[in-house]
Amino acid sequence: MVELAAAVLIATGTLFFIAGTVGLLRFPDIFCRLHALTKADGLGLALIALGAALLAGTPGAVFRIVLIWFFVATASATCGHLVARYARQSGAGGGAP
Amino acid sequence: MTDPLMIFDLLLALAIVALAVASLSVRDLFSMIVLFIIFGLLSALAWVRLSAPDVALAEAAIGTGVTGALLLKTLHHLRYVSGTLGQQTALGVTPVAPVPMGIILANAGFCGLITLGLLVAFLGAPATGPGFDALVAEAMPQSGVEHPVTGVLLNFRAYDTLMEVVVLLAAVIAVWQIERGLSDAPAPVMGEVWQGFARLALPAIVVVGTYLLWVGAEAPGGAFQGGAVLAAVGLLLLLTRAYIPQPAHRGVARGAFVLGTAAFALVAILVAGGGRVAFEYPLEHAKTLILLIEGVVTLSIAVTLAALFHGREPVALSEGGRHDT
Amino acid sequence: MTTFLSLTLIALLLSILAGLVRIFRGPEPAERMLAAQLFGTAAVAILLVLSQLMAMPALLDVAMVFALLAAITLVAFVVLASRGVR
Amino acid sequence: MTPDLIYGLTGIAVFGIGLVGALCAQDRLRRVLALKLCSVGAGFLLVVGAWREPPATPDPVPHALVITGIVVMVSATAVALALIRRLQTLEATDER
């Protein structure tokens, strides 16, 4: 039962990653791509981490997975903000004011 | 039924070779560096697939992280100095007297021959040679640590690791001779989001670095990987100019550079006192000695890598000097 | 279960390779760095699955360092690139 | 087609590409990067030599060598890039 739940979680996580890549390729300007990217890989990784945590038995592994997810979530949010600010300052991405 | 993991290996191998070709052939220098960073990322995954997590840690932290940041800094310096900062693409600077095409093709041909020779040698070699794993496994109980790679690095081949720390010391001495001067670049406006993240993440990274150092005794990790992670904190502080190196701090920096080598050599020599050869740790103290050396070497590596990234000796130049990034 | 995890591994790696197109085509440097950021996170996901598949809990530390690597290179890019813009 | 054969061929290919790049690239940064590719290719061959069939653990000695190689390579790259930055500064001041 747990394996089935983990499999479903990991599958949906992978779908989010694929959506993130499609968003990266198809969206017109940098801000849409940024939006697609940080959402998709943030949530995608969260689901995969949850699936992996279900499969991993020892509490040590589960704690490390949660730590990794938390660090990646905050880091990708901050970096998304930094790139957006840099893109706006350098006048890129469709000349948004 | 082909094992799907083999398909993953084939895909990864093709991606690594394609990225290697792409990063050397793309014209824009910035794309070259980004492709190199992704090449390093995928090659670290390849190390993991070859069940070498220690090498993957070292490749990710040092081989791609510090090297990638160094390359970005050098590219920025090229555009800052040549005044083409606004320009989006910085193309490769072709030298004054370009090498004629004939010589380049000849070189490429010879390299092809060398690679062919390597290929023949690799395919002809016996599948699994004897190797050292039996010897190491048998000697592990006397090494004082459980993880074989750390045992090899810090005990059986400790002399080689000492020389490696000396190489790092020599590199930072060379870099401080090459480049001098204070950088007057303005502090980048990082914004509150970054300050909040930095206040949360930097201490966490220091904890992860120390954890990597400690776990090295029984699992992949150790002095170099831990030192590289701590150096990453130094890089972030230097980049966001939270810490600007001052001439007064040079004494402390020099002490930290030499600390790793000095402690390693001192322990090696002192241990040789009681009728033992150098580097032959007494069995009951082996683990504590190894961890003592690893701790000091980690600190020294972190400061050295950060200084290598900063790239210049922070001393005020008399004749006006070069002030840039 | 293992074949299912291997298939997700292949899907994640394909998502990285598909994203490489953005690196070649991306007009501005910021987009190239974004793609590198996505690949860093995808590599962390691959490692989480691999640590299950190869039964090596040590891969979680490798995943942690991967996450750190992606953050370092991106901050280096943003700081160095924005210094020249103003 | 075990992993060690696949990654052994990758290592040789990456080493060959790095060698061609190191000798034939005109641009300084590209040559430094090509040398780093050579060192990764060589590392591949070492770790492939250490690989054993899954139940057995791989040979730790080549892993230690490759870790040492990575650290030495980053020191060499740092010195090379410092020299390149110095050259760039001198060339820029000559032009002005």
What residues 15-34 of chain C have any CB closer than 8 A to a CB of chain A?
A: 15-16, 18-19, 21-22, 28, 30-31, 33-34
Instruction: Give the model confidence (pLDDT) of B256-271 as tens digits.
Output: 999 999 998 888 888 8
Measured CA to CA, the distance from residue A80 to residue A33 in angstroms comes to 10
Share of chain B above pLDDT 90, in %: 37
Q: What pLDDT, on the 0 to 100 scale, is given for residue B169?
A: 94
User: Lowest-pLDDT range, A22-26, B305-309, C22-26?
Assistant: C22-26
Going by pLDDT thresholds of 50, 70 and 90, the confidence category of residue B160 is confident
Q: Which of B2, B5, B12, B224 would best serve as a mutation to test chain C binding (most C beta carbons within 10 A)?
A: B5
Is residue B125 predicted with pLDDT exceeding 60? yes
For A91, the closest chain B residue by CA position comes to: B86
Tell me, yes or no, if B130 comes closer than 8 A to chain D by beta carbon.
Answer: no
Question: Would the pLDDT of B320 be above 60?
Answer: no
List the single residue in A with minimal CA-CA distance to C49.
A52
pLDDT digits (tens, 9 = 90+) for B37-84: 999 999 999 999 998 999 999 999 999 999 999 999 998 888 888 776
Residue B262's pLDDT is what?
Answer: 92
Q: CB of A3 within 8 A of CB of C3?
A: no
Question: Mean pLDDT over residues B154-161, rounded?
Answer: 83
Q: Do the chains contact at C83 and B7, CB–CB below 8 Å?
A: no
* Total count of domains within chain C: 1
| Residue B94 in contact with partner chain D when CB distance is under 8 A | yes
Residue B207 with chain A: CB contacts under 8 Å? none
Q: Identify the band that residue C55 occupies on the pLDDT scale cut at 50, 70 and 90.
A: confident
Does residue B247 or residue B62 have the better pLDDT? B62
Task: Say which amino acid occupies B169.
Answer: L
Residue C31 lies in domain: 2-83
Contacts of A75 in chain B (CB under 8 A): 197, 201
- The whole-angstrom distance between B97's CA and the closest CA on chain D is 10
Residue pairs between chains A and C whose CB atoms are closer than 8 Å = 136
Could you tell me what percent of chain B has a pLDDT over 70? 91
Q: What is the pLDDT of residue A96?
A: 44
For chain B, the structural domain boundaries read: 1-96, 133-325
ipTM: 0.94
- In chain A, what are the domain boundaries? 2-90
In this complex, which chains have at least 3 CB pairs below 8 Å with chain C?
A, B
Contact C83 B76 (CB under 8 A): yes
pLDDT at D52: 84
Q: Say yes or no: A64 contacts chain B, CB-CB below 8 A.
A: no
Which letter, b or e, does each residue of D44-80 get, where b requires 16 or more Cβ atoms within 10 Å of its Cβ? bbbbbbbbeeeeeebbbbbbbbbbbbbbbbbbbbbbb
- C85: pLDDT strictly greater than 60: no
- Across all residues in chain D, what is the average pLDDT? 90
Closest partner CB to A30 (pick from C28, C57, C70):
C28
Residue A58 burial (C-beta neighbours within 10 Å; 0-12, 13-18, 19+): exposed
What is the pLDDT, as a whole number, of residue B18?
94
| Highest mean pLDDT, choosing among B90-99, B110-119, B126-135 | B110-119
Q: Do B53 and C83 touch (CB under 8 A)?
A: no
Pairwise CB contact (< 8 Å): A82 & B201:
no
Q: Is the minimum CB–CB distance between C35 and chain A shorter than 8 Å?
A: yes
* B57/C32 CB distance under 8 A: no
Check pLDDT > 70 for residue D96. no
What are the chain D neighbours of B83 within 8 Å (beta carbons)? 92
Identify the pLDDT of residue B67.
94
* Nearest neighbour of C22 by CB, restricted to A25, A42, A49: A25
Chain B touched by D9 (CB under 8 Å): yes
Write the CA distances from C53 to B5, C49, D2, D23, D57, integer angstroms.
10, 6, 17, 41, 16
Decide if B179 and D85 are in contact by the 8 Å CB cutoff. Answer: yes
pLDDT over threshold 80, residue B98: no
**pLDDT (tens digit, 9 = 90+) per residue, B67-76?**
999 999 998 8
pLDDT over 70 (residue B294): yes
- DSSP symbols for A46-88: HHHHHHHHHH--SHHHHHHHHHHHHHHHHHHHHHHHHHHHHHH
The pLDDT value given to residue C43: 93
CB contact under 8 Å between A76 and C41, yes or no, is yes
Split into its structural domains, chain D has a count of 1
Task: For residue B28, list its beta bridge partners.
Answer: B91
Per-residue confidence (pLDDT) for residue B324, from 0 to 100: 52
> Which tops the pLDDT comparison, B24 or B140?
B24
pLDDT category, C86, cuts 50, 70, 90?
Answer: very low
Smallest CA-to-CA distance from A68 within B223, B46, B211 is with B211
Distance CA B115, CA B130 (A): 25
- Residue B325 with chain C: CB contacts under 8 Å: 80, 83
